[in-house]
């Protein structure tokens, strides 16, 4: 207590006397779009000579925002106005545009054939003998993405001398899913309220929407679903469609299309119908009319994202119809307008299955080939629910005729909310790199979703957003990295997570090499630390009920067994783990034979997935030589220690980071360490009641009794 008070006073004084103006200055609002003056004189000089003015021929809202971003960015980075001129007259021009609109670029006879609508070319050229740089694309959206790429080069201190970059996105739909309700509550949101101020829309358009669009465009994100997948039919009423249209107007210049979630029973709730049966003619007519209405307000409306027959949501199965019949109903409605339907595969029927992990596969594989062309099925990375670690979802590769869209969770529902530092790109990467056939060089999940394996007509990746009204957007500074990494991977699923971390750190904090080495290391080990202190060795779904904050391995009872923890860990005095081999639920059989074979073999399965697929005795010998119980305690402990090391590392990085962002991160790491220990201690105390074994020598026993941990209550944890 005493120490706490002192530190508060220190903070007060420090902030007030140090700050030149507002006490809150470096608050993270600018995200990675910080255009501060290049701090290394040699780089600054080199950049200043490379770019002295802008030339932009042609005009469109998208080209206008691209040029404005370059003006703003270059003026900041180069600490001086970078003027816009009509023609190339001297060295240092940055020429942007499309050959269609720019005679200058057209005259260069560029080969842009491989770039599609959204790709771009950045190249160092000579114009009339003068060195210049061009950002060229087939469409204005490509120019915009190229502009952000160019700014990133300066932000990350890349040389501009011999540029010849060609980039095009691997996936067509790069999309955020906001789980935002109309009352501004964000389900599983830990960064304040929804940024959509529905009440004041469409009359008041918050300038923050523009910065949201800028941030997404800088990553290539080109779609956003505004509303919670646990959908509200009111979203589709005229009053709310006008509000969505106002947002779409802001996003359009940034090449971002708006999607809405569709509540399947909307025809009954906001229409006059007494059924929502997808084969009913009136229902079909209602959705056709509704689509017509939407497109009259939002001509580039993306389409519907649908969660149906899952966790109590209505759906086609309520009428004995299949998911395909439900999806096709909506697909037919938006098809005349060029829209699409994204149908979520995160489903489970009302009856308890023998294994929830099997259900999406079981329901969707038989439907392969039955969906309309403009339907994609959106699949979570794993078959349970965004756990710190899951094996890749068995649906990937199992639907050659149905384009699958990846669904990652950017918000950290199960990874410590906003305060825990967990860089998720390694988690995303682990899934994307998984070999679906088990062959060492065989196709990966990335090959499935980018369409290369099955020749999908459409491709995409969705991330459940971690964005809210918090000043720093994502609840913590390091959570911005997860938004960033998602966007970069949606553009190119082959990108390396470490490289993304480096890039983000440079743009967000510092280009100092010492800082980068240490901070990247901290980020790259962070998710594994969370796995260790929450769910080591393949354990999963052990969180407290409802809010998912803190440990709850003892959770049992309630409406359904597969919403409890005991269902998943299956601890007994004999052992622990979920037997998903032939002797158990046989979920392994949903994978390709070689994958199944490895997962089913307790000796060959990657040890980090051990208890996901196997129920093993407490004295099972793990690869470390430790018995299973001892290994669990070891890993829990290792996770806590890793957070301690992150804290130490971060303390040492104070010279490289402004005081305000450094302090918040340091304080959050302190919370993380406290809560990591809570997870460890509560888990050990609980599982010890089954293992009946002592905490091995050299490891601390839990600080409190199991009853203490079970007594803790957090009725107002956010995001519930």
Could you list the residues that contact its own copies (CB under 8 A)? 1, 4-5, 8-9, 11-13, 15-17, 19-24, 29-30, 35, 61, 64-65, 68-69, 71-72, 75-76, 182-184, 192-193, 198-200, 202-205, 207-208, 210-211, 214, 234, 245-246, 249-250, 253, 297, 419, 469-471, 660, 664, 667-668, 670-671, 674, 714-718
Is there a contact between 545 and 558 (Cβ–Cβ < 8 Å)?
yes
Least Cβ distance, residue 476 to its own copies (angstroms): 10
State the minimum distance, in angstroms, from the CB of residue 383 to its own copies: 30
- Smallest separation, CB 407 to its own copies (Å): 26
DSSP bridge pairs for 131: 126
| 39, 311, 373, 619: the active-site residue | 311
Shortest separation between residue 491's beta carbon and its own copies, angstroms:
23
Least CB distance to its own copies at residue 421 (A) = 13
Measured from the CB of residue 471, what is the shortest distance to its own copies in angstroms?
7
Q: Are 99 and 120 a contacting pair, CB within 8 Å? A: no
Closest to its own copies by CB, 231 vs 610, is 231
User: What's the DSSP call for residue 502?
Assistant: H
In terms of CB distance, is 247 or 642 closer to its own copies? 247
Residue with Cβ nearer its own copies (74 or 449):
74
Among positive and negative, which fits the CA dihedral 638, 640, 641, 646? positive
Annotated catalytic residue: which of 197, 282, 385, 433? 385
β-pair partners for 165: 122
Closest approach, Cβ 30 to its own copies, in A, equals 6
Q: How far apart are CA 462 and CA 177, in angstroms?
A: 6
Nearer to its own copies, 25 or 165 (CB): 25
CA neighbours within 13 Å on the CB side: how many for 313?
27
CA–CA separation, 297 and 244 (whole Å): 9
User: Residue 627 class from Cβ within 10 Å (0-12 exposed, 13-18 middle, 19+ buried)?
Assistant: middle
Cβ neighbours, 10 Å, residue 60 = 16
Closer of 32 and 629 to its own copies (Cβ)? 32
Nearer to its own copies, 250 or 324 (CB): 250
Per-residue CA distances from 453 to 344, 426, 429, 431, 450 (Å): 21, 23, 18, 16, 8
Measured between alpha carbons, how far is 154 from 69 in angstroms, rounded to an integer?
14
Short-list 169, 102, 182, CA closest to 136: 102
Give every CB contact of residue 474 below 8 A, 6+ residues apart in sequence.
191, 418, 466, 467, 468, 480, 482, 483
Relative to beta strand 460-464, strand 404-409 is parallel
The answer to whether the CB of 244 falls within 8 A of the CB of 298 is yes
- Measured between alpha carbons, how far is 534 from 387 in angstroms, rounded to an integer? 10
- Smallest gap from Cβ 674 to its own copies, in A, equals 7
Residue 138 near residue 168, CB atoms below 8 Å: no
**Tokens 């119809």 appear where?**
321
Identify the bridge partners of residue 621 per DSSP, sorted by sequence position.
627
For residue 12, the minimal CB distance to its own copies (Å) is 6
φ, ψ for residue 188, nearest 5 deg = 60, 35
Evaluate whether 91 touches 131 at the Cβ level (below 8 Å).
yes
Catalytic position from the list 413, 470, 503, 681? 413
Say if residue 337 is exposed, middle or buried (CB neighbours under 10 Å; 0-12, 13-18, 19+).
middle
Smallest distance, Å, CB 630 to its own copies? 32
Residue (72 or 649) nearer to its own copies, CB = 72
Instruction: Mark out the alpha helices in 226-302 (DSSP H runs).
Output: 238-251, 266-269, 281-297
The CA angle 123-124-127, to the nearest 5 degrees, is 115
Give min distance, CB of 180 to its own copies, in A: 11
How many Å apart are CA 701 and CA 621, to the nearest integer? 22
What residues contact residue 423 under an 8 Å CB cut-off, 6+ apart? 478, 481, 482, 485, 497, 501, 523, 524, 526, 527
The pairs formed by 447-453 with CB atoms below 8 angstroms and a separation of 24 or more are 448/396, 448/397, 448/404, 449/171, 449/396, 449/404, 449/405, 449/406, 449/493, 450/170, 450/171, 450/493, 451/403, 453/397, 453/400
311 is catalytic: yes
Query: Is the CB of 460 or the CB of 552 nearer to its own copies?
Result: 552
With respect to its own copies, which residue has the nearer C-beta, 19 or 101?
19
Helix-strand-coil percent breakdown of the chain, rounded to 5?
Answer: 40, 10, 45
Euclidean distance between CA atoms 409 and 378, whole angstroms: 12
Q: Which is nearer to its own copies, 30 or 385 (CB)?
A: 30
413 is catalytic: yes
Residues 649, 645: Cα–Cα separation, whole Å: 6
Based on CB atoms, which residue is closest to its own copies, 18 or 701? 18
Contact predicate 565/450, CB 8 Å:
no
CA distance 580 to 586: 5
Positions annotated as catalytic residues are: 311, 385, 413
């Amino acid at each position: 207590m005493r120490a706490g008070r002192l530190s508060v006073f220190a903070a007060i004084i420090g902030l007030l006397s140090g700050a030149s103006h507002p006490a809150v200055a470096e608050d993270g609002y600018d995200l990675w779009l910080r255009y501060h003056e290049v701090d290394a004189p040699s780089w600054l000089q080199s950049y200043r000579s490379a770019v002295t003015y802008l030339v932009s021929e042609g005009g469109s809202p998208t080209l206008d925002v691209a040029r404005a971003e370059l003006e703003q960015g270059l003026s900041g980075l180069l600490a001086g106005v970078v003027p816009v001129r009509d023609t190339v007259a001297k060295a240092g021009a940055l020429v942007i545009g499309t050959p269609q609109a720019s005679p200058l670029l057209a005259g260069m006879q560029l080969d842009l054939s491989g770039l599609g609508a959204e790709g771009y070319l950045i190249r160092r050229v000579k114009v009339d003998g003068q060195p210049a740089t061009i950002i060229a694309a087939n469409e204005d959206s490509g120019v915009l993405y190229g502009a952000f790429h160019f700014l990133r080069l300066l932000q990350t201190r890349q040389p501009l001398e011999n540029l010849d970059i060609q980039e095009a996105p691997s996936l067509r739909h790069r999309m955020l899913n906001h789980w935002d309700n109309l009352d501004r509550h964000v389900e599983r949101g830990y960064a304040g309220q929804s940024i959509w101020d529905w009440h004041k829309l469409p009359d008041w358009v918050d300038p923050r929407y523009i910065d949201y669009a800028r941030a997404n465009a800088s990553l290539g994100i080109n779609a956003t679903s505004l509303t919670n997948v646990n959908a509200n039919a009111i979203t589709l009423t005229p009053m709310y469609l006008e509000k969505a249209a106002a947002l779409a107007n802001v996003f359009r210049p940034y090449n971002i299309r708006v999607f809405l979630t569709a509540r399947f029973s909307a025809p009954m709730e906001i229409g006059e119908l007494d059924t929502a049966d997808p084969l009913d003619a009136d229902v079909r007519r209602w959705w056709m009319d509704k689509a017509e209405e939407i497109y009259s307000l939002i001509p580039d409306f993306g389409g519907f994202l649908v969660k149906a027959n899952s966790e109590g949501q209505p759906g086609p199965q309520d009428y004995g119809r299949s998911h395909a019949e439900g999806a096709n109903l909506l697909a037919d409605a938006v098809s005349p307008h060029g829209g699409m339907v994204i149908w979520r595969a995160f489903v489970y029927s009302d009856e308890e299955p023998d294994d929830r992990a099997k259900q999406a596969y079981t329901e969707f594989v038989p439907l392969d080939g039955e969906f309309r062309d403009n339907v994609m099925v959106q699949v979570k990375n794993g078959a349970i629910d965004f756990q710190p670690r899951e094996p890749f979802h068995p649906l990937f590769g199992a639907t050659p005729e149905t384009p699958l869209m990846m669904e990652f969770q950017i918000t950290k529902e199960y990874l410590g909310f906003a305060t825990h530092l967990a860089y998720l790109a390694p988690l995303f990467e682990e899934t994307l790199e998984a070999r679906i056939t088990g062959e060492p060089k065989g196709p990966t999940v990335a090959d499935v979703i980018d369409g290369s394996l099955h020749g999908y007509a459409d491709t995409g990746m969705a991330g459940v957003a971690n964005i809210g009204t918090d000043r720093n957007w994502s609840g913590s500074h390091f959570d911005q990295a997860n938004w960033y990494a998602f966007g970069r991977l949606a553009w190119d699923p082959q990108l390396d997570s470490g490289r993304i971390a480096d890039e983000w750190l440079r743009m967000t904090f510092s280009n100092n090499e010492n800082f980068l080495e240490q901070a990247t290391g901290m980020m790259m080990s962070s998710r594994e630390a969370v796995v260790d202190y929450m769910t080591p060795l393949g354990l999963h779904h052990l969180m407290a009920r409802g809010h998912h904050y803190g440990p709850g391995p003892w959770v049992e009872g309630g409406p359904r067994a597969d919403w409890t923890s005991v269902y998943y860990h299956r601890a007994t005095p004999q052992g622990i783990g979920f037997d998903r081999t032939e002797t158990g639920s046989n979920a392994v059989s949903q994978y390709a034979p070689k994958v199944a074979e490895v997962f089913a073999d307790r000796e060959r399965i990657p040890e980090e997935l051990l208890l996901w697929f196997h129920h093993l005795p407490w004295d099972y010998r793990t690869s470390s030589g430790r018995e299973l119980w001892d290994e669990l305690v070891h890993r829990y402990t290792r996770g806590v220690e890793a957070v301690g090391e992150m804290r130490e590392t971060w303390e040492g990085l104070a010279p490289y980071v402004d005081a305000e962002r450094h302090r918040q991160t340091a304080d959050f790491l302190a919370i993380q360490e406290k809560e990591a220990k809570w997870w460890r201690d509560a888990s050990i105390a609980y599982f010890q009641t089954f293992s009946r074994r002592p905490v091995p020598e050299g490891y601390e026993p839990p600080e409190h009794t199991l009853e203490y941990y079970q007594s803790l209550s957090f009725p107002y944890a956010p995001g519930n």
